[in-house]
């Protein structure tokens, strides 16, 4: 008798678990395959990272200059370099956006 109750409880647990695991297949949502990142998308990601890294670098540079860690001369030369990097990344992004067949990410 008690063995039967044991088995029943375990069966209920197993059934619940199976339903939870199978749920994504039972629900009506369509299961289209997840598309991979195209080379263009990878480039876009890389450029955005480079742009953001340059912005972050500029922010840190401002902070370091204000707190005296970086002198005026170093500050100017480093600022020029970082701005050039950011500009390069932005130019690359513009080029990607203007290529035919692309949808701009902000749309």
Partner 1 sequence: MPEQVLGRRLGGLTLATVGSALLLLVLALVSYATVASVLAGLRRDRRLMRSAGNAVMAAFVCTVSAVVLLEIALVRHDFSIAVVLQHTSRTLPTPYLLTSLWASQPGSLLLWLTVLTGASSLVTLQNRHKNRELMPWVTAVLGGCMVFFASMATIISSPFERTAGVVPRDGFGLDPSLQNPYMAAHPPALYLGYVSFAVPFAFAMAALITRRTDARWLASVRRWTLFAWASLGVGMLLGAHWAYVEIGWGGYWGWDPVENAALMPWLAGTAYLHSVMVQEKRGMLKVWNVVLVTATFALSIFGTFLTRSGVVDSIHSFVQSPVGPALLVFLSIVLAFATTLLVWRLPLLRSDHKLESVVSREATFLFNNLLLLAFAFVILWGVVFPLLSEAVRGVRSTVSVPYYNFFLVAFGLPLLALTGIGPLIAWRRATPGSLWRTFRWPVISAAAGGALLALLGLGSSWPGLTAFSLCIFVTVTIGLEFARGASARRAIAGGSWPRALVDLVSRNRRRYGGYVVHLAVVLLVVGIAASGAYGSVNQAVLKPGQSMQVGGYTLTYTGMRSTTGPNYVDTAARLVVSRGGSTQGTLYPAVRDFTDHTVKTQSNEVDIRHDLRGVDVYTILQGADPSKNEVVIKALVNPMVSLIWLAGLVFVLGAAITIWPDPREARQLARRYSTALAKEA
> Taking CB under 8 A as the criterion, which residues in 11-70 touch partner 1?
13-14, 17, 20-25, 29, 31-37, 41-42, 44-46, 48-50, 52-53, 56-57, 60, 63-64, 66-70
At closest approach, how far in Å is the CB of 47 from partner 1?
9
Sign of CA dihedral 49, 59, 84, 101: positive
- Tokens 């953001």 identify what position? 52
The C-alpha atoms of residue 17 and residue 4 are separated, in whole angstroms, by 20
Greatest Cα pair distance in the chain: 87
Residue 107: both structure tokens together: 């749309």
Site residues (vs partner 1, CB under 8 A): 1-2, 5-6, 9-10, 13-14, 17, 20-25, 29, 31-37, 41-42, 44-46, 48-50, 52-53, 56-57, 60, 63-64, 66-71, 73-74, 78, 103, 105-106
């Amino acid at each position: 008798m008690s063995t039967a109750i044991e088995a029943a409880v375990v069966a209920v647990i197993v059934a619940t678990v199976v339903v939870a695991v199978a749920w994504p297949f039972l629900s009506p949502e369509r299961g289209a395959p997840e598309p991979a990142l195209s080379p263009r998308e990878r480039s876009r990601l890389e450029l955005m990272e480079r742009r953001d890294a340059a912005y972050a670098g500029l922010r840190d540079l401002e902070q370091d200059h204000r707190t005296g860690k970086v002198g005026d001369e170093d500050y100017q030369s480093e600022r020029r370099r970082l701005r050039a990097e950011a500009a390069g990344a932005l130019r690359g992004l513009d080029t990607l956006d203007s290529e035919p067949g692309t949808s701009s990410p902000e749309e």
